[in-house]
Every structure is written in structure tokens, then in C-alpha cells.
Amino acid sequence: MDEAKRKSIVALLRTSYNMELETVVNYLANSIQLDGIRAKHIKDALAADITEELGHATQLAHRIKVLDGDIPGSMELKMTQKSMQPPKDNLDVIAIIKGVIEAEQGAIDQYQKIIEATDVVDPVTQDLCVTLKGDEEEHKRLFKGFLAEMQATK
């Protein structure tokens, strides 16, 4: 693979790495911050997903390293998930569910970019991102179910 393509792929992987770490931070905050009976399953799902999202970040970091890229430290990370911020109302479970769906869609879209960018030139990275995209699609589907249930019981 030529140098320009390698750098482009590393940049895309770094973006995904950043997104995964930001998701971990927000899932952790919301898995503790939310209150109420309706929040129980959401908090449990978020807490369980923390480990998986951190695993994604770890896999991405390893791939960045293999491709001779630099793994971003905290000073290089940019936090942008406004919809995932803990709500002022700790009972606002629906806001967090919608935020999770938005964050998962962002990850899905980012992995799709990498899948397309690595076609033919980097099948190892492409395979990794196909797997990670599938995981994110499962998370999104779970939270879409939570949203449907919450909206049906209002």
C-alpha cells in the first residue's frame, strides 16, 4: 500500500478510536447518572456496552500501531457527542436512548467509510471494520427496541 493511502487509513482509524473512547466515557456517565425504574435496563445495557466499546478502541489502537500510525492520547481527542451528555433530568431516559442511537449510527457510518477506503488495499483493516460495524448495528437495534417500548408506554 502506498504511503498516502496508509496515512489516510490511519487517519480514519484514529477517528474511530476517538469515537469509541468518547462513547465509553458517555456510556459510563449515563450508566450511573440515570435514575428511575425505567432506567434500569438502559443503565444495564450501557454498562455492558462499556466493555465492548473499550474493546473496539483497543482493537483499533492495535491496528493503528500495525500500520505505523500514532495512537492518540487524551490531548488529541476531540469530544463531540452532544446528544450523549448526561441529561439535566436524571429521569430523561428517552434522551439518552436517542443519543445512543445517534452515536451508534455515527460509528456505523465511520466504519463504512473505512470499509470503502480499505477495499482491495487493506483487507485486514477492512475485515476488522466489518466486524466492528456489525457490533454497532446490534447495539443500535437494541436501543431502537428500547425507544419503541418507551414510546409505546408513554
Is residue 29 very low, low, confident or very high in pLDDT (cuts 50, 70, 90)?
very high
The whole domain housing 12 covers: 3-152
With beta carbons less than 8 A apart as the criterion, state whether 67 and 125 touch. Answer: yes
Looking at the chain, how many residues does it have?
Answer: 154
Q: What pLDDT shows up at residue 96?
A: 97
Percentage, residues of the chain above pLDDT 90:
95
Q: What pLDDT does residue 154 have?
A: 64
Q: Is 83 strand, coil or helix? A: helix
Domain tally, the chain: 1
pLDDT (average), residues 23-50: 96
Helical packing angle, 3-33 and 40-66, nearest 10°: 160
Global pTM value? 0.95
Question: For 63-102, what is each residue's pLDDT tens digit?
Answer: 999 999 999 999 999 999 999 999 999 999 999 999 999 9
130 Cα distance to chain centroid: 14
Kindly list the distances between the CA atom of residue 45 and the CA atoms of 28, 73, 131, in Å, as whole numbers in the listed order.
11, 27, 20
Q: What is the CATH number of the domain that holds 69?
A: 1.20.1260.10
Q: What is the pLDDT of residues 113-145, one digit of tens each?
A: 999 999 999 999 999 999 999 999 999 999 999
pLDDT band at 18 (very low <50, low <70, confident <90, very high): very high
Q: How large is the average pLDDT for residues 23-46?
A: 96
